[in-house]
Structure formats: C-alpha cells, structure tokens
C-alpha cells in the first residue's frame, strides 16, 4: 500500500461552488493512481465509507459533514493520438474541464465546443453524461478507465459499457458509487464543423453577424449565453455560489406531457420530443409557473436572479437552507403539475456502507 498523507477534520465548503457544508473526517489528495488505490484500500481496511470529490460543482454537503474518507481527485495529464481524420485524447480525471474544451477549440478539434463554460473536472463528465446546447459527452467518449472500489482493480469501460442516457450512465444509476474515474478517452473530429442546434446559439451568432461560425465563434456564443444566466464561474457575480442547474429537465411519457400542458393551461409550454417517444419538459418553466421567480429568496438561500434552475447560497447560508428550498420547489411543482423534479447535484451525508460516491 502506498504511503498516504491523511488529513483529519478538513472543512469541505471551500472545495465546493456552493460554499456550504461541514467537515470530512479524513481527506486524501489523489494525485496519482497508486494513491487512489491506496485510499480505497485504507477505507476498506478501516471500515470507513469513501467519498470522491472532484470540482465540487455538483455536490451539496451536509452541515454535519461526513464521517468518511474523502478522496479529492488531483490526477493530471493529457495524451494526444492522431487517428486519421480524428483525434483521440486520453485525459486524466483531475484535468479542469473547460480548460480542456478551450484547448480543443484552439486546435480545431470539434466535439466539445457547446460544452464550454461548464465547471468541474474531466472525471465527472462520463458519470453525468455532461451535456449542453445540443452536445453530450457520450458522443465523444471512447473509453473510461476506472478503479473498482470492491477490489481496487483497474477496469476499462467502452462507450457502450457506460450505458449513457440523458444526464445518466452506469456510473451514476446502473452501479452508483462503485467506480472511481481515473481517465477518459475522447474522440474528436479534427477540422470538424461546429455543432449549432439551439436557437439561443443561432440568435447570438446572427446578432454578431456570423453566418458560418468557427468552433471559437460557437464557444464564445456559448460562454456569453451561460454568463447571461450566471452559469459560469465568476467571482464578481452575486449568483456565483450555486451548483448551476439544480434540477434536470424531466422526461415523461407523451400522454403525461399532454396532461402537464392541460394543467398549465398553456399551449406554449416548452417540450421536446425524445427519440424513444417520450417528451422532455423544461424544469425552469415548471419552477417559474409553480410560483418561483428569478431572484426568489427563502432566508439565506434563493434562486438566481438570472435563472430559476440555479439555487444560490447567499452569505451565511447553510446546506440545510439550500436543501429546504429545493424540497419546497419539488413539492410545489409536483402539486401544480404532477411532475417530480430530480436534483442534479448529489447530497452528501455520512454513508451507511463502504462503496465510493463521486461528485
């Protein structure tokens, strides 16, 4: 077992974008794969739960903290392979995601441009099947290298093995918390055209007078749109302490979507058909029409002044403030429309058993 530098009673709030929550009983910085495996072994040997922390942009940590070993991912490195017209990147889990996107855009490798401005680390992208503005990570993932917490062995998942779905994968819902992502292999299109599938992006490009956009043009549009919604990390933004979108857009049966529209009494309710015949609804629209407006305040937590999907922790806020508001939104949306909203961030409290949980 590799030597481990284990810190005790470490505050976790500074490692998250919400900036709330208590302490980790133990914390290890996982700067290489040997340390990650050793941390897993240590947790198993000591009968301690293990939680895996990435960029901290998709987690709400209990005010009581976690009586667990928190493994903070710090693996770095990017390997580039040219494969004909495509380019493969093998990227360590601790690489900052948006820096990777910027690099690929600068080198004219298409496939990530619409995923610009998203906070967090590479390791989280296959877990959540990160997506935005018409692109999903699933479109580019070739393989995911993981450590299995059951036996500390390293495995490789193909894209098919990952069982990607809307904001979902085998790592999230198939066998949640079992695997620690170590590296991801992506395949991008060298010299490929940018993806432009969303009206917001088309409008921004048209406003800027760009009929045939480059990858960089699309990246700039995406970041500008996200910034207008306080969906990028900006130290001067009063909405900065959030997890971004707190709820995923619900996907329901077509008949249920019709029922929601009837309850809403509106023929303008946003909805998008899915390939499987179901319908995706707008969580933001449902929240707004359940009575929660932009800037809505509930004590020390509230909604972003620019987007109703983002719950914001104001000065003095606690994790309990955030969770209480989230539950109230869920309750009122379900009462008004019969739709259950699913939180996107994971809530951390002391686990009852060993398997790792990743955020």
Q: Is 344 a catalytic residue?
A: yes
> Of 88, 175, 344, 349, which is the active-site residue?
344
Query: What pLDDT, on the 0 to 100 scale, is given for residue 358?
Result: 43
Query: What pLDDT, on the 0 to 100 scale, is given for residue 357?
Result: 45
Query: What pLDDT, on the 0 to 100 scale, is given for residue 356?
Result: 45
> Of 145, 167, 187, 241, which is the active-site residue?
167
Residues 6+ apart with CB under 8 A from 262: none
Query: CA 252 → CA 125, 215, 263, distances in Å?
Result: 24, 33, 15
Contact assessment for residue 273 and residue 281, using Cβ atoms and an 8 Å cutoff: no
Longest Cα–Cα distance of the chain, Å, equals 63
Query: What pLDDT, on the 0 to 100 scale, is given for residue 351?
Result: 62
Strands 131-132 and 251-252 come out as unpaired
CA distance linking residue 10 with residue 8, whole number of Å: 6
> Of 245, 294, 306, 357, which is the active-site residue?
245
Report the CATH number of the 7-75+348-358 domain.
Answer: 3.30.43.10
Query: What pLDDT, on the 0 to 100 scale, is given for residue 84?
Result: 82
Query: What pLDDT, on the 0 to 100 scale, is given for residue 350?
Result: 75
Query: What pLDDT, on the 0 to 100 scale, is given for residue 116?
Result: 98
- Domains of the chain, by residue range, sit at 7-75+348-358, 78-228, 251-343
SS3 call for 54: coil
Query: What pLDDT, on the 0 to 100 scale, is given for residue 2?
Result: 60
Q: Is 167 a catalytic residue?
A: yes
| Domain 78-228 sits in CATH 3.30.465.10 | yes
Report the CATH number of the 251-343 domain.
Answer: 3.90.78.10
Strands 279-281 and 271-273 come out as antiparallel
Query: CA 184 → CA 46, 84, 93, 356, distances in Å?
Result: 30, 20, 7, 18
Contact assessment for residue 74 and residue 31, using Cβ atoms and an 8 Å cutoff: yes
Cα torsion angle, 162, 164, 170, 171, sign: positive
Q: How far apart are the first and last CA of the chain?
A: 25
CA distance linking residue 27 with residue 42, whole number of Å: 12
Query: What pLDDT, on the 0 to 100 scale, is given for residue 283?
Result: 97
Question: Within 13 Å of residue 107, how many CA atoms lie on the same side as its CB?
Answer: 18
Query: What pLDDT, on the 0 to 100 scale, is given for residue 355?
Result: 41
Residues 6+ apart with CB under 8 A from 266: 289
Q: What is the mean pLDDT of each run of 10 residues along the chain (359 residues)?
A: 86 97 97 96 93 96 96 98 92 98 98 97 96 96 97 96 94 90 98 94 96 97 95 90 95 95 90 93 97 96 97 96 97 97 92 47
Q: Which of 232, 206, 230 is nearest to 217 (CA)?
A: 206
């Amino acid at each position: 077992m590799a030597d481990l530098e284990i810190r005790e009673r470490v505050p976790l709030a500074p490692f998250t974008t919400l900036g709330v929550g208590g302490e980790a009983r133990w914390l290890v910085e996982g700067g290489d794969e040997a340390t990650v495996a050793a941390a897993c072994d240590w947790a198993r040997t000591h009968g301690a739960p293990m939680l895996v922390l990435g960029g901290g942009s998709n987690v709400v940590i209990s005010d009581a903290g976690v009586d667990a070993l928190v493994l903070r991912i710090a693996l770095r490195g990017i390997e580039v392979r040219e494969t004909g017209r495509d380019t493969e990147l093998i990227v360590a889990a601790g690489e900052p995601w948006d820096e990777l996107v910027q690099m690929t855009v600068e080198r004219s490798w298409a496939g990530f441009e619409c995923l610009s401005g998203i906070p967090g680390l590479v390791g989280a992208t296959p877990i959540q099947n990160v997506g935005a503005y018409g692109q999903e990570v699933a479109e580019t993932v070739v393989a995911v290298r993981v450590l299995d917490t059951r036996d500390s062995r390293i495995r490789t998942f193909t894209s098919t093995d990952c069982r990607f779905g809307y904001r979902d994968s085998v790592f999230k819902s198939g066998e949640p918390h079992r695997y620690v992502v170590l590296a991801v292999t992506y395949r991008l299109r060298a010299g490929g055209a940018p993806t432009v599938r969303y009206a917001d992006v088309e409008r921004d490009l048209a406003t800027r007078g760009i009929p045939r956009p480059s990858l960089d043009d699309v990246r700039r549009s995406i970041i500008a749109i996200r910034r207008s919604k306080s969906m990028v990390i900006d130290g001067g933004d009063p909405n900065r302490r959030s997890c971004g979108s707190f709820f995923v857009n619900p996907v329901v049966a077509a008949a249920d979507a019709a029922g929601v529209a009837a309850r809403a009494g509106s023929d303008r309710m946003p909805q998008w058909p899915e390939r499987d015949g179901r319908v995706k609804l707008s969580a933001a629209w449902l929240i707004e029409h359940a009575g929660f407006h932009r800037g809505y305040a509930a004590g020390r937590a509230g909604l972003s002044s620019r987007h109703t999907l983002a719950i914001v922790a104001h000065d003095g806020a606690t994790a309990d403030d955030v969770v209480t508001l989230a539950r109230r939104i869920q309750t009122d949306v379900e009462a008004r429309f019969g739709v259950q909203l699913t939180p996107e961030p994971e809530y951390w409290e002391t686990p009852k058993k060993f398997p790792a949980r990743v955020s």
